[in-house]
Amino acid sequence: MSVARAFDKYEGLGNDFLVLDAAGEDVSADEAIRLCNRRFGVGGDGVLLVLPPRTPGADARMRVVNADGSVPEMCGNGIRCVALRLARARGTRAASLLVDTDAGLRVCDVDDTGGRGLVRVDMGSVRATGDLSLDVDGRPVVVAVADAGNPHAVIFGAFARADVDALGPRIATHAAFPRGINVEFARVEAGAIDLVVWERGVGVTMACGTGACATVAAAIDKGLLARGAPVRVHLPGGDLTIAIDDAGHAVMTGPARHVFSGQLAPR
């Protein structure tokens, strides 16, 4: 970045991002790390680049760069932020948008009536692919593996924060997952889910949209939840509603919020 550039800070249930318009993929891993640093940069869980679409008829393309410089395939909270930003740039309070991602095309329906920033996202097919037993420092840990356009390992039970801090990074970088994996710690109770996520490339976050979808899919696969019914997923930053139909198609509904705008200083 040789000149000052405008950015917007957005968050979805506390999962926060710098959002930049980009003609090309011009934020490097080192730049993302610097920008996301919460003491010496702007601070964020990642950078969202809004790019020209690849698919005919799409409104934009989203590319995500995590706080550690890695590039995930998809970000559920991030796409709600991008959709809300696109709708507001058009000056509309209601919009149906098509957004390209590295996990495929996503339909986003924005309801910004009264500034509520509610976004419903068609997350496509979300699949639970079965259990896997891992050796973690000599301890057997069983995870339910799921695919929400990016990879997830879900552990069901009751967990303290110390468990999340200890197991999250060990599973996320386990040899069984050469490209890394997101790790969900989930408790199912009364038809809802309490969820904490260790995100690949970020660590513990306030919320994870793809993680919520993957966890619901895994819970349905285990018979813990009914297919088709909307499921409330309680995350540290707030709630998402996830519904997965008989074909494994997932819909996520949740808020996004503009925090502030600014200028990035030249390099």
Cite the active site residues.
75, 208
d(CA 149, CA 101): 10
Do the beta carbons of residue 77 and residue 254 sit within 8 Å?
A: yes
Instruction: Please tell me the total number of residues recorded for the chain in this structure.
Output: 267
Burial of 38 (0-12, 13-18, 19+ CB in 10 A): exposed
216-231 in b/e form (b: 16+ CB < 10 A) is bbbbbbeeebeeeeeb
d(CA 66, CA 59): 23
SS3 58: coil
- Residue 54 main-chain phi, psi, to 5 deg: -95, -30
Do the beta carbons of residue 164 and residue 199 sit within 8 Å?
A: no
The 3-state DSSP composition of the chain as helix, strand, coil percent (nearest 5) reads: 20, 45, 35
